[in-house]
């Protein structure tokens, strides 16, 4: 894979700014440039920042994802992903558990 040293400058066409890299290097460059779609920027996102923060604030041992999902009008699986660090970890500060 060919990567670009001018992270965040997609209009640069200088061939001297290219270097060989991996998919991981490319992903890291994308993250540094802030071009990673997260949260509401993901096209299929059903949650919002406010909804995630509300769910985190309301969560307790007696109120799990299913109960919260009914109260907040979203799916329990979306909240399971939030609570388990698989989604919205940039808001929750939970470590990513993606595989």
Residue 82 backbone class (left: φ over 0; alpha: ψ -120 to 50; beta: rest):
alpha
CA atoms within 13 A on the CB side of 54: 11
Number of neighbouring beta carbons within 10 Å of residue 55: 23
Q: 29-68: per-residue pLDDT in tens?
A: 877 877 776 777 676 777 888 888 999 899 888 888 899 9
**Dihedral over alpha carbons 55, 89, 97, 94 (to 10 degrees):** -80
Which pLDDT tens digit goes with each residue over 79-90? 998 888 888 877
**Domains of the chain: which residue ranges?**
2-36, 40-92
Instruction: Report whether 46 contacts 70 (CB < 8 A).
Output: no
């Amino acid at each position: 894979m060919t990567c670009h040293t001018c992270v965040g400058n997609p209009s640069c066409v200088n061939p001297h700014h290219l270097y060989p890299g991996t998919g991981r290097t490319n992903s890291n460059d994308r993250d540094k440039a802030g071009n990673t779609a997260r949260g509401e920027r993901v096209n299929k996102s059903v949650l919002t920042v406010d909804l995630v923060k509300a769910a985190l604030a309301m969560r307790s041992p007696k109120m799990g994802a299913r109960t919260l999902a009914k109260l907040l009008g979203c799916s329990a699986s979306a909240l399971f992903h939030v609570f388990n660090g698989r989604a919205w970890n940039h808001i929750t500060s939970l470590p990513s558990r993606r595989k």
